[in-house]
Chains A and B, each alone.
Chain A
């Protein structure tokens, strides 16, 4: 299995631009999670889906952030407009309800 796939691996953008991060979960996994990792705040859960349905988005920082899962094999996390404080590593993870398997992450830099 290829594991969780994320793209792009690195993203540099200017403040105010729209950013879209992509994730392909492990086949057969019905839970998908989006996390953000920073030195200051550690690892934060942003949102998670079960069977493509958002279950808990209480970790989404504000309305600038949105996430979708149109099918079992694809999810996006969008930031519009982006701000410098959004700079972080964003991880996607998937599971069948037990341990989660993480992707390699997207390092986002907003200048």
Chain B
């Protein structure tokens, strides 16, 4: 079965500093990977996806993610974090039958 793991429950950074949210995956076959963000009392919002191609994927709100096959990782990054980036972030992997398996989530806090 496909799965993802987010090893950090929380990430704290200062505004303007780089932000990294970690995700590792376990799949049989080619991985289809996704990042979502959830703001308080809101639904999950799609940020970006990796299907194939370039290992660096660019997404919404200045986020990008780096796919690393040898390390089975798909870390989310932002060069300069904003206070408004404070939210809950989910990594997900798609099963062959179109279901998504989500990680437990990482709470990001960006302090001013």
Chain A residues close to B by CB (< 8 Å): 4, 31, 33, 42-43, 45, 48, 50, 55-56, 91, 93, 95, 97-105
B99 & A42 in contact (Cβ 8 Å cutoff): no
- B103 to chain A: closest residue by CB: A42
Interface: B102 (CB within 8 A): yes
The CA of A48 and the CA of B51, in the complex, are separated in Å by 22
B90 & A97 in contact (Cβ 8 Å cutoff): no
Which residues of B from 27 to 68 have beta carbons under 8 Å from A? 32, 34, 36, 42-46, 49, 51
A103 & B98 in contact (Cβ 8 Å cutoff): no
Q: Which residue of the partner chain, among B43, B99, B105, contacts A105 with CB atoms under 8 Å?
A: B43
A-B contact count (CB 8 A): 45
B44 & A102 in contact (Cβ 8 Å cutoff): yes
The CA of A101 and the CA of B46, in the complex, are separated in Å by 7
Complex contacts, B44 vs chain A, CB 8 Å: 43, 91, 93, 100, 102
A31 & B43 in contact (Cβ 8 Å cutoff): no
B34 & A99 in contact (Cβ 8 Å cutoff): yes
A97 & B42 in contact (Cβ 8 Å cutoff): no
Interface: B104 (CB within 8 A): yes
The CA of A105 and the CA of B49, in the complex, are separated in Å by 22
Complex contacts, A48 vs chain B, CB 8 Å: 98-99
The CA of A43 and the CA of B99, in the complex, are separated in Å by 13
Given A55-B97, A56-B97, are A43 and B102 also a contact pair (CB < 8 Å)?
yes
Given A91-B43, A100-B46, are A31 and B98 also a contact pair (CB < 8 Å)?
yes
